[in-house]
Structures are given as structure tokens and as C-alpha cells.
Structure 1
Amino acid sequence: MADTQAVKDKAEKYRAPALEKGLDILELLSQYASGLSQAEIAKALDRSPNEIYRMLTTLVRREYVSRSIEGDRFQLSLKMYSMSHRHPPVTRLLEAAVPMMRKTAKDVHQSSHIGMEHQGEIVVVASVEAPGNWSFVLKTGSVIGLWNTGTGRAIAAFQKPEIRELMYNQHERALGEPEMSYDQFRAILDEVQQQGFVRMPSASTVGVTNLAFPILGPDGHAVAALSCPFMERIDDFKAPGIEEVQEAYAQVAKDITNIYGTVTT
């Protein structure tokens, strides 16, 4: 008990109150895509408007926070997002993931890609083409649907309910993506979460079965999804069937999840 108290006392001694105020503001704003007013921030953090004003002025000057055009609301800028992609766990994650994806594509003769979510958009951040003279692969940088793709469903299913709803509300439908109510979407995600992965006929291409597996962060929530647009061969080439392909990519997703959990900045 004495040792525990000593650790607490030491931690209290080396606190940086100004830094903590700034971090409190950043963490709060990260939950509100449309931003908050100075008064709303002060109320939420139980701080005086003057304290918040000084911190906001600094954060705006350093470009971590931006003002709305009207000037009465504050929201996170893209600076932190940009910084996170300079020395990111994401980059190192992909550096580890892509060789595994290439090996698996060669073994099972099926393409794969990794998708991530940003402000409601599902973006393909890496893709690997199957060997041979034909394959189906999504281009890196493609923006795809949230509720009509395996990738979008695998990412959204493994989130807190409030994050699911935020993703739904922020999402702008991709080309060809049909409308879907939030109740329908939530019911689908509940099934995906129970099953642990997505297996569904493609909603945009005939003859493709989407297999998608969440890549989980240390908190158990999806940071990305590994997907395989499975195409069945009907010629004389004896390629692995869908069950074998599903098992192979499920293992890759688990391996990537394990790597992501140990990546540090």
C-alpha cells in the first residue's frame, strides 16, 4: 500500500496541468465531427471560459484545432491525422501486412485488400492482386460503400454503438451504394459481430463473394478490415475453394491484429 501511494504521489508531483487541459480539449473535440462552441467545451470540461479561451487560442495557432467559417465553433483539424500517418503504426502495420497478403494471394489464388474508415468514408489503403492472368482487385485509394460492402460492415460491426451511429451519420454514399436505414444497418452489424466476420454475395458485382475480417486494435475495436473478393474458378485449374480461402484470410487477419496490438510509435 505504501509503495502504491508513493507512485501516486510521484505521478501527482509531475503532472502538467496546462498540457492536460489541452489534451482534454482534443479528446473532447474528437467525439464531435461538427465541432463545439467555446461555451460548450467549457461546460463539458467543467472549466472556466477564460481557461478554455487561452487553450483554444494556442491550439488554433498551432493548427491542431480549426475554427468554423462563422468563427463560433471549433473542431479538430487534419493535423493530428496527418501526423499519425508520418510515423504511424498504420504504415508499419501495412508494411507487415502486405507481405502476408502477397503470400496468401499466391497460395490461394485470390486477391485481397485492406480498408480503413475516416469520417464515415471507407478507403482502400492497400491491395494485393492474385497471381495469374486474371483477378479481381480494388485499387488502393478507392472509396467504397459502408453498408453494402464486406469491408465496411466488418469495420463498423466491431465498434461501440455510438461510433457505429456516428459512422452511419457521417457517411456519404459511394457510387452505386443504395440507401439503408440505420435500423437495418444495425441489425446486419449485430449478426456480423456474432459471426466474427463477413461472408456475403457482392452487392455490386455478379459472381463475387465478399469475405471480410476485422483487424482489431488493443481495445478490441476494429481499426481496419482485411477483405477478399472471392471468385470461383470453373475451368480445369484446381484453385482452393471458398472454405480454404476463408480460413487462410481469417488467419492473416488474426496475425495482423496481433501485430497491430504490439506496434508502438
Structure 2
Amino acid sequence: MTERQNKLQKYAAPALEKGLDILEFLSLTDTRPTLSQLATGIGRSKNEIFRMVIVLEERGYIRREEGEYFALTDKLSAVAAKRSNNSKMVEIAGPFLSRLADETGMSNHMSVLEDNQFLVIASTPVSQNYGLSVQVGYRFDFFGTSAGLCFLSEFQRSQDRIALLSRNQPTLSIAAFSDYDQHVKNVQQDGYAVLPNPEAMSIREMSAPIRHVQTGSTIAAVTIPYFSTDENANSISKVAAHLLEEVGKLQEKIALTIPAIRMNNFRYAQND
């Protein structure tokens, strides 16, 4: 046995291997197998794969059809497409976000909506001795954030926005939703919104939406976090002007480079 084979054996993950075997088999077959046929196809017993099939079904990667037949869903393709779009946006946004950081002297980050949470896909620090920055890969909740307001601003009617929030945050009160919803008009009128960070009230976050010109869908938000000080308060209008300028240029570049994409899970939730 080679050194590579020894390493592979040492770090083997049997459960993962079963899951991958199932997905690969379903991707290659033209028929929809039963559990028994699926087990035979990958050289395992029904008992070996039963739990993995349940997990893959619950996570939306496979579906069970009438007659206990199994088939792949399009989730794998959707995940791959989303990753591709995210990578393209990060590449395109780099120069714009860097220029924004230089112009404002403040860090910024770009986030997209995934499963009703935000995922930071790009983060641009500043060259000063200190600043606020967020790591790429960081996830944060939708509700209560200025980035969340950017996505809600697509909807013109307050009742539609509150209905969507209620479905995705069922434990929060209508009063809390209504208070948050009052800030949506700031994005609709001014193109950006400012809110305290939900976890650190001394930090303010200014966010502006990135919309795809062809679809009008909000595909990301650019956020500038900053400390709530008198000095920063005096420069807020200049920071906002730089933010809107760079976001506008970025939107134009994305429209020319990336085909019409739908990345806003919230937008289509009302039609489920």
C-alpha cells in the first residue's frame, strides 16, 4: 500500500462516501431507482444507506417520488451556480470596493442572502492603524440589519414586507417587524440605510443594495461599518455619496458581465 493510500485510509469518512456514492449513481442513471435498486447499484445493503438517503432527502438533494422511487433534485446545480455567481461578483467588485475604502477611510464588505441569512463574500480593510472589518465567510441574521433593509426595499407595499419577515422570523412580534420596516423607506428614497449593529450598538452600519439591472432583483448589499462618533457623524453624507457612486458603477459592470441572476431567496418566498 502506498503512502497516499495509507493517508486516504486514515482519514476515511464512510458516511460521506455513502452520500457521494448515492449522488453520483443518481446523476448517472436514466431511471429512478427504488431504495433496493439504489443499494444494489452502489454495492451496499439497504440498511447501510437508509439513513443517508433520509438525510439527503431532508436536505433537498434527492426527492422521493410516488412508488418509492428516488431522483436527484436541482439543488446541486443551484449550489454550483450560486458559487459561480458569488466568485464572479467578488472578482468584479474588488476594484470598486477598494476604491470605496480609499475614498472613505473605512472598511467595507459585500454580502449575499443565503437561506435567510447573510453570507459575507468580500471584505475590504483599510490601511489605517485601526478599523472595523468583517471576515469573509461570516454569517449574520437578516432581521435588524441595514443589509436586510436593502433586500426588503424591492417591495413597495409594507404589508408584503412584513408578511415575508413574519414567515422567516416567526418568533418575533409584529411590533418589532413594523419598527424595522419603517427604515425601508430610507433605502427607497435615498438609496441607502443606516442602522446600529444588532450586536454592538456603538457601531453603525451603512448599506446600499446592488441590484441586477436586467431583473431589478437585489443580489447583494455593500455595507460600511463605523464607530458612532461625532467626527463620523459629520462625514456621513460624504461617505454615503461615495458608497452610492461606487455601487452604481458596480451595478453597471455586473450587468455587462453576469447574465440575469436571481440570488435573493426572500424575493420569491411569497410565491412558495
TM-score band (shorter)? 0.5 to 0.7
2:89 maps to 93
TM-fit CA distance, 1:80: 2.2
Number of positions where the alignment pairs a residue of Structure 1 with one of Structure 2: 200
Is it true that 1:169 corresponds to 2:164 in the alignment?
A: no
Given the superposition, is the C-alpha separation of residues 264 and 57 from structure 1 closer, same or farther in structure 2, using an over 3 Å criterion?
farther
Q: CA deviation at 1:231?
A: 2.7
**Contact 1:109 / 1:240 at 8 angstroms: preserved in 2?**
no
Instruction: With the length of structure 1 as denominator, give the TM-score of the two structures.
Output: 0.61
Shift of 1:203: 2.9
User: Relative to structure 1, is the Cα distance of residues 153 and 146 closer, same or farther in structure 2, using a 3 angstrom cutoff?
Assistant: same
Q: Which consecutive aligned stretches of 4+ in structure 1 deviate over 4 angstroms post-superposition?
A: 55-58, 68-77, 159-168, 182-187, 232-235
Once residues 167 and 92 of structure 2 are traced to their aligned partners in structure 1, the CA distance between those partners, rounded to angstroms, is: 33
| Aligned partner of residue 140 in structure 1, secondary structure | coil
Cα distance change of structure 1 residues 159 and 139 upon mapping to structure 2, 3 Å threshold: farther
1:148 aligns with 2:144: yes
Correspondence for 1:193 among 173, 178, 188:
188
Question: Quick one: distance in 2 between partners of 1:87 and 1:206?
Answer: 35
2:151 matches 1:135: no
The residue type equivalent to 1:127 in the other structure is: S
Shift of 1:119: 2.1
Which amino acid is 2:205 matched to? N
How high is the sequence identity, in percent, across the aligned residues?
Answer: 16
1:39 is aligned to none
Q: Using a 3 Å threshold, how does the CA distance of structure 1 residues 78 and 96 change in structure 2: closer, same or farther? A: same
1:125-156 CA-to-partner distances (Å, cap 9, x unmatched) read 11111221111112211111212111122122
Kindly provide the CA deviation profile for residues 38-89 of structure 1, in whole angstroms up to 9, marking residues without a partner as x.
xxxxxxxxxxxxxxxxx9959xx9x99621699699995531222214543x
Which structure 2 residue ranges, 5 or more long, are not aligned? Answer: 1-29, 39-56, 260-272
Distance 1:117 1:105 in 2: 23
Distance 2:74 2:129 in 1: 44
Partner SS for 2:127: coil
Q: Is the 8 A contact 2:97 2:124 kept in 1?
A: yes
Supply the AA of the counterpart residue of 2:167.
Answer: N
Distance 1:57 1:65, change over 3 A: farther
CA distance in 2, matches of 1:72, 1:160: 43
Structure 1 pair 264/96, CA: closer, same or farther in 2 (3 Å)?
Answer: closer
1:252 aligns with 2:246: yes
Q: Matched residues in 2 for 1:263 and 1:164: separation?
A: 34
Taking the aligned partners of 2:142 and 2:31, their CA distance within structure 1 comes to 34
The alpha-carbon deviation at position 264 of structure 1 amounts to: 3.3
Please report how far the alpha carbon of residue 183 of structure 1 lies from its aligned counterpart in structure 2 after TM superposition.
4.6
2:201 counterpart SS class? coil
Assess if the C-alpha contact under 8 Å between 1:110 and 1:229 holds in 2: yes
Do the aligned partners of residues 255 and 203 (structure 1) sit closer, same or farther apart at CA in structure 2, a change above 3 Å counting? same
Which of 94, 116, 129 is residue 112 of structure 2 equivalent to? Answer: 116
